[in-house]
């Protein structure tokens, strides 16, 4: 979150005033980030599987949730939109071999803001006898967390398994 131009609350103030100012500062930061354009997810890839496709990407630190768009044509007009929550992976269980679909992903905020779509990726489902190794997970995502006591932003990283680490 961008905190440029928003000063820290001074320590010499009484606790009630500090709490009020910290609360206001947090709300201004949230409002600013909800209005800012959202970056698109990165490392987007689609891996064909038997009767389906696995979609993976690296999450955007400020996004609330993600949407996968898929279509039978590359222009994505009339594409199906799937809300996948805060996950960085989704499996499209098509149910048949030889079905071609075009996919893209975008990040969303609960306030309605959304990122641009990633590049469109084409994938054709495989037959059941096809042996395909599961895809490697995407690189870890950085999540920004605000320390409520100090108001400072603490970068945390989520690895592919969802474990939280302070650094990579």
| Confidence (pLDDT) at 102 | 97
The stretch 35-62 carries a mean pLDDT of 89
- Measured distance CA(22)–CA(10) in Å, rounded: 10
- Tell me the per-residue pLDDT of 71-121, one tens digit each, with 9 for 90 and over: 999 988 889 999 999 889 999 999 999 999 999 999 998 877 889 999 999
Distance set, CA 60 to CA 55, 98, 158 (Å): 16, 32, 11
Pairwise pLDDT comparison (66 vs 1), residue with the higher score = 66
| Confidence (pLDDT) at 36 | 65
Pairwise pLDDT comparison (165 vs 11), residue with the higher score = 11
CATH number of 42-124: 2.60.40.10
How many residues are present in the chain? Answer: 168
- Tell me the per-residue pLDDT of 107-161, one tens digit each, with 9 for 90 and over: 998 877 889 999 999 999 998 876 666 677 776 666 666 677 777 766 666 555 5
The stretch 21-41 carries a mean pLDDT of 78
| Confidence (pLDDT) at 5 | 66
- Beta-carbon contacts of residue 124 (< 8 Å; ≥ 6 apart): 48, 98, 99, 100, 101
- Measured distance CA(77)–CA(59) in Å, rounded: 25
- Measured distance CA(37)–CA(90) in Å, rounded: 24
Across 14-28, 35-49, 70-84, 118-132, which has the greatest mean pLDDT?
A: 70-84
Distance set, CA 20 to CA 9, 10, 34, 35, 98 (Å): 10, 12, 21, 23, 60
The stretch 63-77 carries a mean pLDDT of 92
């Amino acid at each position: 979150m961008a905190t440029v131009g928003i000063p820290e609350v001074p320590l010499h103030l009484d606790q009630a005033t500090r709490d009020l100012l910290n609360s206001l500062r947090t709300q201004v930061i949230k409002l600013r980030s909800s209005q800012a354009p959202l970056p698109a997810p990165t490392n987007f890839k689609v891996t064909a599987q038997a009767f389906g496709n696995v979609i993976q990407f690296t999450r955007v630190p400020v996004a609330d949730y993600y949407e996968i768009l898929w279509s039978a044509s590359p222009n994505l007009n009339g594409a199906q939109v799937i809300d996948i929550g805060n996950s960085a992976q989704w499996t499209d269980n098509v149910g048949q071999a030889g079905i071609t679909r075009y996919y893209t992903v975008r990040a969303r905020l609960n306030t309605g803001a959304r990122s641009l779509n990633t590049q469109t990726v084409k994938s054709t489902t495989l037959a059941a006898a096809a042996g395909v190794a599961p895809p490697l997970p995407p690189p870890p995502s950085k999540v920004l967390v605000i320390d409520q006591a100090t108001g400072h932003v603490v970068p945390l990283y989520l690895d592919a398994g969802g474990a939280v680490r302070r650094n990579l």
